[in-house]
Amino acid sequence: MNLARFPFLNEAFSFVEEQGADLESLLEGTAFEEARSRGKQRVLEAIGNSDISDISLAGGEFDRLLEIMSYIYARMLVSSIDDHYLTRRYSLAEAVKLNRNLSHILSSDPDAVIGVAGELDANAVAADKGLMMHFTDFLRFSSRIKSPEWKLVNTEVFDGYVFLPGTSFCRVLQNALQDRLEREIPLHLPEEMKRSLTKVTGDIVNELEARKSRFEDGGLGEVDAELFPPCMRVLLANTQNGVNLPHTGRFALTSFLHNLGMDSEEILLLFSKSPDFDESKTLYQIKHITGETSGTEYTAPECATMKSHGICYEPDRLCASDKVNHPLVYYRAKSFLRSKEQKGKGAEGKAEKKDST
């Protein structure tokens, strides 16, 4: 197993120690200039793409050492900036990279994949049929993924272990690493070290602020969120709180907002709050749903479809009425009820005024 592709493993840290590398030389030494530059690149790529590219490690042992050191340095940079959005985005990018690298070794070295799971605190075993994870760890690490196929009832469980296709197994470990990094960062760095890192974090902070200011104005425009049905409120809140939506949820929310009159750019701004936001990919998906590129303008799914996809979240009393069979019907019904209520209040106000004259 190439440890440089899995720099968070204990074995990778042991390798660094064996090579005699230390933090002082990482921060100041000329031998590690390349590791510092790559570490900074890791963070900038995380901000820009929520992914970190794999580099060639053809140079052998020293290249591997540099790559592991760049991971250590990147974590220090992110810790010294200590910004919640950056931490989440960086953690996600390292986790997406892990998912890709695990997928590459899945068929050739399943035991190594199980070993990585163990280090990420997931109890897992390899079986004839594929890989298995204890159901408690599966539940813990898949809780961010809200689509029906990830529900425990829709999996095959044997003796407390969930059978998972290789790609799903890697996806769960992606979440496990993301959780772990979000817990660990910010690292406790000595003040002096933080000060010295501040000298090189200027570009990263500028990039981070540029990204935030570019997307921070995302609002709902003319659309009134108070009229949203509970399902759309949950989906919107998840998006804005950085929880990844299942594909069906993204589709439902995008088509719903479009059906209410929001254009692609406005919808894009809403999705920009998500930590795994990829501008070009998201815009492509939005334009497909709004018909700009596909020629088909999609309508939001009706309630029955939302229910079958497991995204009819928290239905309320209005949802239970016979007339509401679609999130758009809910929106219009609530708008009607509100204007009726306002008219009622207006009439009461006039009556009170008349009485007092």
| Nearest approach, Cβ of residue 121 and ligand SF4 (Å) | 35
What backbone torsions phi and psi does residue 326 show, to the nearest 5 degrees? Answer: -155, 140
Would you say 15 or 330 has its CB closer to ligand SF4? 330
Burial of 87 (0-12, 13-18, 19+ CB in 10 A): buried
| Nearest approach, Cβ of residue 338 and ligand SF4 (Å) | 16
Would you say 211 or 309 has its CB closer to ligand SF4? 309
- Listed in sequence order, the residues at least 6 apart from 73 whose beta carbon sits closer than 8 Å to its beta carbon are 26, 27, 32, 35, 36, 38, 39, 40
Would you say 105 or 253 has its CB closer to ligand SF4? 253
DSSP for 298-321, written as a single string: PPPPPHHHHHHTT---S--HHHHS
Beta-strand relationship, 130-134 and 161-164: antiparallel
Would you say 204 or 257 has its CB closer to ligand SF4? 257
Would you say 177 or 253 has its CB closer to ligand SF4? 253
DSSP state of 87: H
Would you say 7 or 229 has its CB closer to ligand SF4? 229
- 130 forms bridges with which residues in the sheet? 127
Where do contacts with ligand SF4 occur on this chain (CB under 6 A)?
229-231, 303, 306, 312, 315, 319, 324, 327, 330
Would you say 181 or 324 has its CB closer to ligand SF4? 324
| Nearest approach, Cβ of residue 149 and ligand SF4 (Å) | 19
Q: Find the angle CA(153)-CA(159)-CA(164) to the nearest 5 degrees.
A: 55
| Nearest approach, Cβ of residue 282 and ligand SF4 (Å) | 23
Please say whether the beta carbons of 174 and 144 come within 8 A: no
Task: Identify the CA nearest to 42 among candidates 54, 60, 26.
Answer: 54
| Nearest approach, Cβ of residue 221 and ligand SF4 (Å) | 21
| Nearest approach, Cβ of residue 106 and ligand SF4 (Å) | 37
DSSP state of 225: G
| Nearest approach, Cβ of residue 73 and ligand SF4 (Å) | 46
Would you say 186 or 315 has its CB closer to ligand SF4? 315
| Nearest approach, Cβ of residue 311 and ligand SF4 (Å) | 7
259-263 contact pairs (CB < 8 A, 24+): 259/299, 259/300, 259/328, 260/223, 260/328, 260/331, 261/222, 261/223, 262/220, 262/221, 262/223, 263/290
130-160 burial, b if ≥16 CB within 10 A, otherwise e?
A: ebbbbbebbebbbeebbbeebeeeebeeeee
Type of residue found at 218: G
